[in-house]
Amino acid sequence: DAGITQSPRHKVTETGTPVTLRCHQTENHRYMYWYRQDPGHGLRLIHYSYGVKDTDKGEVSDGYSVSRSKTEDFLLTLESATSSQTSVYFCAISEGRGQNEQFFGPGTRLTVL
């Protein structure tokens, strides 16, 4: 987890409210990713970024948006939280694509009531 922090680590919110999760890195890696982890599904990619202000959708992007205004910060926003978005969210970083491994943050546990 060194070099990657996520905030908050735990959050409980109500259906319909907006929620923003923050990922901060000190490694100066170009690529950043947001995943959600659900039992039986492993990790699924929500959005990723390949540079400042350069982002793209992953496989489960509906209901989520992202922003990256600085190399070190990658924000994930749930525009109007739903109960199906209750999950554990992980941020990851990597130096490059292809053969480069990703390094993961400690996760944020989000509960939407």
Partner 1 sequence: AQSVAQPEDQVNVAEGNPLTVKCTYSVSGNPYLFWYVQYPNRGLQFLLKYITGDNLVKGSYGFEAEFNKSQTSFHLKKPSALVSDSALYFCAVRSRSNDYKLSFGAGTTVTVRA
Cβ nearer to partner 1, comparing 14 with 95: 95
Cβ nearer to partner 1, comparing 48 with 81: 48
Cα 25–16–47 angle (5° rounding)? 35
Q: In whole angstroms, give the CA distance from residue 31 to residue 97.
A: 8
Is the four-CA dihedral 98, 89, 52, 67 of positive or negative sign?
positive
Cβ nearer to partner 1, comparing 48 with 74: 48
**Minimum gap (Å) between residue 75 Cβ and partner 1:** 18
**Minimum gap (Å) between residue 80 Cβ and partner 1:** 27
